[in-house]
Amino acid sequence: MTDLSGKVAIVTGAGRYRGIGRDTALALARAGADVAVTGTGRSPDSFPDDEKTMGWRDIESVAEEVRALGRRAMTIVADMGDGAQARGVVEQTVAELGSVDILINNAGYPMAGDRVPVVELDDALWHRVLDIKISGAYYASKAAAQEMMNRGSGGSIVMVSSIAGKTQPPNMAAYVVANMGLQGLTGSMAKELGQYQINVNCVCPGIVDTARWDNSPRRKEWQQAEMAIPMRRAGTGDDVASVIAFLCSDEGHWVSGQCINIDGGQVTSH
């Protein structure tokens, strides 16, 4: 029953067909929000086979789906690790859609060459993972919070982290630190912005069946990974998106500063 009518949302990293970003953009639109979606402008040559087959067009296709739900949509190509571009996402959204009431920081570096022992990790890759995940969320959140404060009508900011930031597995140092950073940013900003009626939360998905897993030795690991989940299945983008939509609603607005595991029961400590 979530109602986001009249709200304007930004969802970063929303261009993949099988992704939390797209599912979140659609969940917010179904609840009544207009949505700006961002992507990196990736080449169609890099699309997974299912996207190529369906003629997927990255964030343009997501925007079309949002409009089909009767909501306004806009697309922005941006490198969220670049401060000027991240701030520009907020500025462009305000200019075209009129405000920013909701920010979902979902952008992240693809699951690729960073999954190695720390002594083998390339320094440039370390910085890139952190730049997109932590710095990008910082830049966008700072700009969105200022806009929300200026308007005086509150708002919601949600970070999309991972249970990896809590479980801290080996051979994933950059990813672990990036997701821990988002969780810390969430707590600090929640305490700063609560007085302006802005709630700030973090969702921590477990294993979710998205295109990110296409870069891993999926077939060997997938069944074993699912069996480690008490509910014996991987999550879906919708599993995560529904919680995000709740946190952005009036019903969820008094929830703030929380890092919520969405993982089928895999992590029960907080």
Q: What is the DSSP letter of 219?
A: H
DSSP per residue over 59-113, as a string?
Answer: HHHHHHHHHHTT--EEEEE--TTSHHHHHHHHHHHHHHHS---EEEE-----SST
Q: One of 17, 138, 139, 175 is an active-site residue; which one?
A: 175
Handedness of CA 74, 75, 76, 80 (dihedral sign): positive
Element holding 182 (H helix, E strand): helix 173-193
Candidates 245, 109, 224; CA nearest to 177 is 109
Which residues are CB-contacts of 244 (< 8 A; sequence separation ≥ 6)? 24, 27, 28, 104, 158, 160, 203
Residue 216 DSSP SS3: coil
- Determine whether 196 is an active site residue: no
Identify the H or E element spanning 52: helix 49-54
* Angle formed by the axes of helices 173-193 and 136-151, nearest 10°: 10
Q: Strands across the sheet with 198-205, in order? A: 73-77, 34-39, 8-11, 102-105, 155-160, 198-205, 259-262
The H-or-E segment that residue 199 falls in is: strand 198-205
* Active site residues per annotation: 175
